Amino acid sequence: MHIAHLCATLCGHRSRSGEGAKPSMPQKQQSLTPEVQPDQIGQELATNLNLVLTEIEGCSMRPTDIARVLDTSRVMVSRLLSAIRKDDPIERLTRIPGPETLRSIVRAAGQHGVEAEHINAAEKAIEAFDELIREQFGTRSALNAALSNTNPNARSKFEQSSRYQVFKGMSQIVGAQSNLWLTTMMLTPSNDQPDGIDISTIHGTSGLRRLRPDTPIRFVYGVPPEYEDRRQSPVRTGTDLSSFLMHEAAPLRVDEENGQIINTFAPEVEGKDDLYDMLAEVYIPNGSNRYAAEGRNYRGTTVIPDVPTVTLVSDVMICDDIFEGIEPELFLYNTMPRGGADIEDPKRLIDRVETQEQLDYMGRGTAGLGISEFPMYEDMVAYMCEKNRRSPDSIRTYRLQVQYPVYGFQHTIAFKVPQRGS
């Protein structure tokens, strides 16, 4: 039985090591060895393959034409044309089809009027490409990973493609997937503690599909932080959020255990195309603090999607006079070996993952907060502002948005807060 787990909690819980430390970025992946000249190989491939394709008798430089004449895959031809038209030779190498596909295209072109001299030059360039893969990296995926480290465009495409493959595989293993995983956390001044912060959160998923009838799905609001040995308990509000939903509301069973609110969705599956939304609202009065405590310097929110999802959106909404002048930081962890990470625990630096993802400042108010996968989102935020008796213009929003977030990775948005009196 699979048990999914979403964590949307405040950083600042007691470290298991008992010590706090400033997080640091992990070392970057090693770059290509000096003897490798991939840019030259990329240039030679583009030059010679372009010459071969332009000389094919009886066709234009359109993928459909070339594929028809050569009796080959239109998709592969389209990939080849797209790659050789890139200005950056490194990006060409990450996008171009593999050596065997290139050889088959060149051999077929040799039967349709292309001069042997040009065929030989193209085959020589392909052989250099093949040798680069075999001798230096072993596999094409390893080559792409190394090349992408030196080219932002190539890296972005490579990472998203890789994350998509993980999404597809984990969806089948877990037995569920969703279109959107959403966490919206609003921080407002506490009503009864001068330094306290109240936390309002709506979290869950939209466009949830169960792929197997034996798959219960659970999402959890995790244990809140401790301050001065006092634990604040999260309270599920029970608010009806159906007016904001895109799909039928998933029937939920709600349990409380060890300071956690556990929502369970396990209806009978009527068909593979049945989509559900499952959102819950949680409130923690005085759930955080404006200032650092001993060894505890960060405040923020952590999200670990419970099911493989197409898009992750995590919004942190900060009321005026809370964390003023402090920009949030993004921390990404692989939780598979050792579970959820405390970002101030130095023992967890080994689980830190380098990422190109960035936080976006969305400004104040609800305008511009729209999410295409969730059309009523701006209205939902307006509802949260009204419930907390705050003007939308007094709320500033920071957003993390990730396509195909890696299942089991922890995304933490955190503010480094000052000491009291500083």
Query: Which segment of 110-119, 221-230, 368-377 scores lowest on mean pLDDT?
Result: 221-230
More reliable by pLDDT, 394 or 159? 394
Please determine, for residue 14, whether its predicted confidence score (pLDDT) is greater than 50: no
Is this structure's pTM higher than 0.75? no
The whole-angstrom separation of Cα 245 and Cα 259 is 27
Instruction: Report the pLDDT value the prediction gives residue 25, as an integer from 0 to 100.
Output: 44
Please determine, for residue 1, whether its predicted confidence score (pLDDT) is greater than 70: no
User: What is the rounded average pLDDT of the residues 17-34?
Assistant: 39
Query: Which segment of 120-129, 247-256, 335-344 scores lowest on mean pLDDT?
Result: 247-256
User: What is the rounded average pLDDT of the residues 348-377?
Assistant: 90
Instruction: Report the pLDDT value the prediction gives residue 419, as an integer from 0 to 100.
Output: 86
User: What is the rounded average pLDDT of the residues 124-139?
Assistant: 88
pLDDT tens digits along 172-193 = 998 889 999 999 999 999 888 8
User: What is the rounded average pLDDT of the residues 150-172?
Assistant: 77
Distances (CA, A) of 120 to 41, 42, 123: 15, 17, 5
The mean pLDDT of the chain is 81
Please determine, for residue 225, whether its predicted confidence score (pLDDT) is greater than 50: no
Please determine, for residue 27, whether its predicted confidence score (pLDDT) is greater than 50: no
Please determine, for residue 59, whether its predicted confidence score (pLDDT) is greater than 70: yes
Percent of the chain with pLDDT over 70: 82
Instruction: Report the pLDDT value the prediction gives residue 231, as an integer from 0 to 100.
Output: 47
More reliable by pLDDT, 82 or 213? 82
Please determine, for residue 19, whether its predicted confidence score (pLDDT) is greater than 70: no
pLDDT tens digits along 332-346 = 999 988 888 888 888
More reliable by pLDDT, 350 or 21? 350
For the chain, first and last CA: distance in Å?
50
Instruction: Report the pLDDT value the prediction gives residue 10, as an integer from 0 to 100.
Output: 45
Instruction: Report the pLDDT value the prediction gives residue 272, as an integer from 0 to 100.
Output: 59
pLDDT tens digits along 273-305 = 688 898 888 888 888 889 888 778 999 899 999
Please determine, for residue 422, whether its predicted confidence score (pLDDT) is greater than 90: no
